[in-house]
Amino acid sequence: MIPQSFWPGKSVVVTGGSSGIGLAVARGAAAAGARVGLLARTETPLEAASAAIRAAGGVAEWAACDVGDAPRVADAVADLERRLGGVDVAVASAGIHRTSWPLDARTAAEVIGINFGGCMNLAAAVLPGMLSRGRGRFCGIASIAGVVGLPGNAAYCASKAAVIAFLESLRLDAAPAGVLVTTVLPGVVDTPMITDAERRAGGVVSAADAAHAILSGIARGRPEIWFPRRTAMLARLARSLPPAIRDAVLRGRPRLEESPRPP
Ligand SMILES: NC(=O)c1ccc[n+]([C@@H]2O[C@H](COP(=O)([O-])OP(=O)(O)OC[C@H]3O[C@@H](n4cnc5c(N)ncnc54)[C@H](OP(=O)(O)O)[C@@H]3O)[C@@H](O)[C@H]2O)c1
């Protein structure tokens, strides 16, 4: 259950708000009474997502920018704040998946710059306002892939491990100032980022169910949200194995495909 009293009137900014988990979170927050600001690179899906939220009776604005570009993220957040009010809740969901085997340094840097850099840039843009108001919630979508290394995924796993460590540290500094930090560690969620092979493999969570868990966890001020339970349990188990055994178990795991590239 999402605590109903938390969301009405809140100003919520979601990066990656035009697709997948970010879009489902934005829709859910708007349906619960929040004013949402969507942020991503491509204008057409941002426009379509905002129009759909408004058509359902919600309040939605959007701004286009690359989350890897810190000054542009700061400008986009300032623009959304002028239209929606100071950010009460920020959700860093923008992300990409690219294979890391064979390893290409430029592609790896792109993955880390968007997945980790994007989370850090959003935090840097919204935290000053939250700290001055003495309240706020910051949520980053990491991944269970940040807990264990996976074949073909060195850069993606590193980017998510960085998000986990970054938010774990930020939480210590921000909580005494009234800002709660939530780390989300999903398994596989049914979005355009995953392939049909992953869909068929089972254990896939719908984006709507993922959003429900995230919105409920943010409203409750949870430090971490893991789902689904079975994948979370397997990841914790793998982490606890001796490294040589963990490598033998994980080496044969199917590789993930790359997420779609923007036009
Ligand atoms: N799906 C899963 O199984 C799964 C599991 C664990 C964690 N996650 C994480 O959850 C988050 C959301 O993934 P998803 O599955 O919802 O993916 P998705 O459906 O592919 O959506 C990705 C979103 O991020 C935006 N984006 C990508 N690069 C960007 C950039 N440089 N600047 C601004 N926006 C950017 C995309 O819009 P534009 O391309 O137009 O910019 C889109 O709105 C990601 O961080 C992902 O790593 C996903």
Report the CATH architecture of 11-251. 3-Layer(aba) Sandwich (3.40)
19 catalytic? Reply is no
* Cβ-based neighbour number of residue 236 at 10 Å: 13
**pTM for this structure?**
0.97
Query: Which of 52, 4, 70 lies closest to 32 in space, CA to CA?
Result: 4
Q: How far apart are CA 170 and CA 186, in angstroms?
A: 20
pLDDT for position 262: 62
Taking 90 as the threshold, does the pLDDT of residue 252 lie above it?
no
Q: CB under 8 Å to 88, separation ≥6 — which residues?
A: 10, 11, 12, 34, 130, 135, 136, 137
pLDDT for position 197: 84
pLDDT for position 201: 84
* Cβ-based neighbour number of residue 240 at 10 Å: 8
pLDDT for position 260: 64
Taking 70 as the threshold, does the pLDDT of residue 238 lie above it?
yes
The one catalytic residue in 138, 156, 166, 226 is 156
Q: Ligand 1 pocket, 67 CB below 6 A?
A: yes
pLDDT in tens, 66-114: 999 999 999 999 999 999 999 999 999 999 999 999 999 999 999 999 9
Give residue limits of the domains in the chain: 11-251
Q: Ligand 1 pocket, 121 CB below 6 A?
A: no
Taking 70 as the threshold, does the pLDDT of residue 257 lie above it?
no
Taking 90 as the threshold, does the pLDDT of residue 35 lie above it?
yes
pLDDT for position 138: 99
Query: Which of 145, 212, 225 lies closest to 181 in space, CA to CA?
Result: 225
